Amino acid sequence: MKPDFPAEAKKQTLKGAQEFVQYFYDVANYALTRPEAGLLTKLGTAECKPCTLLERQAVGLVEKKSRFKGPVVKISHVENVTTSLDNPLVLVTGVQNSVPVVDSAGEETAGSPRGDINFRVELGWTSEGWRVRDVVNT
């Protein structure tokens, strides 16, 4: 089921920033397991390279009629590491799950490897609300 946009994420607050980041990863999981293209570019700025890479991955899955068998990322903790509302940094920890890709014939192939994740997500507030500017491994 496509994630609902959290009401708190519509606000230019630190809690709103956290909620938006959680939503971003919920949408990423949805886009890669459904698959559905066009969702992730709306949540990032034009300069967000990790956003573009995730979107390309979703597009590739759609074109190949493939999908990840389950959620790729499980977020365990989201916290603000700055108090700036102009350029907040949000720390994300969790696990990248070991999940195979399923093709149109139902055959499974290697997908994502398991590993811990520690990301620093840089956000920006725009006329359309929060947008991801960058995601950096920490």
One-letter identity of residue 133: R
- Spatial CB neighbours of 112, under 8 Å, sequence gap ≥ 6: 68, 72, 96, 97, 98, 99
In the chain, domain spans:
7-137
Confidence of residue 86 (pLDDT cuts 50, 70, 90): confident
Confidence of residue 109 (pLDDT cuts 50, 70, 90): very high
pTM: predicted TM-score of the whole model, two decimal places: 0.96
Confidence of residue 19 (pLDDT cuts 50, 70, 90): very high
CA distances from 103 to 28, 64, 110, 118, 138 (A): 19, 7, 11, 29, 33
Instruction: Give the angle subtended at the CA of 138 by the CAs of 71 and 86, to the nearest 5°.
Output: 90
Looking at the predicted structure, is the pLDDT value of residue 45 above 90?
Answer: yes
SS3 state at 31 = helix
SS3 state at 105 = coil
CATH topology of domain 7-137: Nuclear Transport Factor 2; Chain: A, (3.10.450)
C-alpha dihedral over 17, 77, 59, 131, to 10 degrees? 10
